[in-house]
Amino acid sequence: MKASSLFLGIFAVSIHLLGCSDDDDGGATTVTDTGVADTAVMDTGGTPTDTGAAVDTSTPADTATTDTAPADTAVAPKTVTVNVGDGGNTFSPANVDINAGDTVMWVWKGDTHSVTERGATDCVAKVGGFDSTIKNTGFTFSQKFDTAGTVNYFCTPHCSLGMKGTVTVK
């Protein structure tokens, strides 16, 4: 065998092993992918996993067990109901005790009554004071009291019959 033929045989085998083939297009040789996997080691881009705990388990520095601050004595405002004319010429209850900021709501249970703040004289309305005017069953009238003290009130048509009441504000 001639050296050139031997060389061509080795060359052909080498090309075949390298993934080259002759596609019979007139002598040109093309390289084709053989599908052999790349064996290079690749960095997958992963990051190290942090297994340390990030929770603060320390004890707070303030270990006091007694609250030395004064207690909050504020009471939420409330509404107290007084019935007007329930069973006659009465306020029921006639006298109520409330805290500053509370409201009294009068509810008419009878006809032809009023809730009128009393002035300096018995059965005389206070100038600038509250006054429901004369109303009938089902009507309601409310007044908020912010200042401590005693407020007297009456029913205009029935004051002389004793239909009077007081609101004591603490």
- Per-residue pLDDT tens for 1-54? 444 444 434 434 343 334 434 444 444 444 444 444 444 444 445 444 444 545
Q: Write down all domains in the chain, each with its CATH number in brackets.
A: 79-169 (2.60.40.420)
b/e code 6-35 from CB counts within 10 Å (16+ = b): eeeeeeeeeeeeeebeeeeeeeeeeeeeee
Report the amino acid identity of residue 165.
G
pTM (predicted TM-score): 0.57
Q: Tell me the mean pLDDT in the region 91-100.
A: 98
